[in-house]
Structure 1
Amino acid sequence: MHSGDTTSPAERLRLIHTHFLAPGGGGPRAERTARATEPAAAIRLDVYDHLRDAANEVTALVKSLCDEADPYEPPPARVEDTYRWCIEETAHLDEQRQRSRDAVIYRQGLQHAILMGDAKVIRRHPCPDCATWGLTWDRRRETVVCLNRHCADDDGQSTTWTLAQIAEKHIARQSARAARAT
């Protein structure tokens, strides 16, 4: 997590669950609205889908990281406890698998922030290619774009990155910093 950002992925998940999932919850709606002759959905379905997908992905991650000889507890009932559960259930794993876990959690944190309308979280990361601070979120293409004109391909197209790539680079930098500090 960047030092200027105090909102963890777990806190973002809790905020989405308590504030954005509520009927008429905050933030712009990404889904199509109902016609006037149809009643509105009681909750934001795009937010509900996002929460369900995030929790399912973390549950599948724990299953894939833990082998059959190493049983794990079932996932928590409260969605906001998902990341704590994931970290506890995989704390015994080797460093590489823990970094994979951390990258998924961090990527989901970025997704949560973007869903809540905070795409500025992308600007807190250097470009993985040119290392400048010129990244931005392209909502239309749902990708990260480097705005540095020197960081473009031969056709002049901006370099693009997935949230997963940004998260993996972030976790790798954190691990390298931690290794240097010891």
Structure 2
Amino acid sequence: MGTDEAAHRLRLLQQEFTTLPACGPGDGRTGRRVHPPVPLNLAVIDHITASVREVAEQARTAAPEAGPLPAAPASIYDWWRQNTPDLDDGAVQARETVIYRQSLEHAIAAGDHKVIRKHPCPGCGCWGLFWRPAAQRAVCVNLDCTDTNGMARTWELKHLAYEHIARQKMLKANAT
């Protein structure tokens, strides 16, 4: 999963999840609204804006002469790659890790928590990760995979993304 998947998920968020669903009348009496509700899902708009801002800041740090941002938010990942072609291996891995993390974030924002299950636990290696929305972290369900307090180990998306990109890099290096 790379830039194309992240761009696809961002495009899906923008197209399908920015408008609020139509609601019917309530089941009881309510006060008259002074203003109509906002026709957009502001949480998704904020998520998209924050994602584009993060990519733009990191790209401009690596390449201050980078051109203007693309008009379509989903094109931001290709823009980042095009404006930073001469990065060293570590910087490329960092860039791809951010892109992959954002891809996971886009999927979770769209309600697809199953993307977490496709990753092995960085602690024990089992395939027992689930998304815990309240903590905004992946949790391992293996009873033997606990922290020093005996609690189930949890992982941030940035750690899962780092592990995934490092694993891909290792597989690519071993394949050639």
Q: TM-score, normalised by structure 2?
A: 0.88
Task: Please tell me the root mean square deviation across aligned C-alpha atoms, in Å.
Answer: 1.8
Secondary structure, aligned partner of 1:63:
helix
- Note the residue ranges of structure 2 that are not aligned, 5 or more in a row: 23-30
- Residue 63 of structure 1, CA deviation: 1.4
Corresponding residue to 1:133 among 118, 127, 138: 127
Residue 23 of structure 1 deviates from its aligned partner by 4.4
Paired residues of 1:10 and 1:80 also in contact (CA < 8 A): yes
Q: Which has the larger radius of gyration?
A: 2
| Structure 2 counterpart of 1:76 | 70
**Consecutive unaligned residues in structure 1, runs of 5 or more:** 26-34
Q: What is the match of residue 61 of structure 1?
A: 58
Q: Give the match for residue 117 of structure 2.
A: 123
Cα pair 1:24 1:44 within 8 Å, conserved = no
8 Å CA contact 1:24–1:43 kept in 2: the answer is no
Q: Distance in 2 between matches of 1:169 and 1:77?
A: 31
TM-score scaled by structure 1?
0.86
Go from structure 1 to structure 2 and tell me whether the alpha carbon gap of 1:36 and 1:13 turns closer, same or farther (over 3 Å shift). Answer: farther
Match of 1:151 among 145, 150, 158: 145
Instruction: Give me the whole-angstrom Cα distance separating, in 1, the residues matched to 2:168 and 2:102.
Output: 17
Structure 1 CA distance, aligned partners of 2:38 and 2:172?
Answer: 47
TM-superposed deviation, 1:10: 0.6
Distance change >3 Å, CA 170–CA 155, structure 1 → 2: same
Deviations 1:95-147 (A, max 9, x none): 11011000001000000000111000000000111111011100111111111
Deviates further, 84-93 or 48-57: 84-93
Of residues 6, 14, 21, the one that matches 2:11 is: 14
What SS is found at the alignment partner of 1:8?
Answer: helix
Secondary structure of the residue that 1:93 maps to in structure 2?
A: coil
CA distance in 2, matches of 1:120, 1:170: 16
Q: 1:36 to 1:53 in 2, by over 3 A?
A: farther
Q: Decide which of 64, 77, 88 is 2:82's aligned counterpart.
A: 88
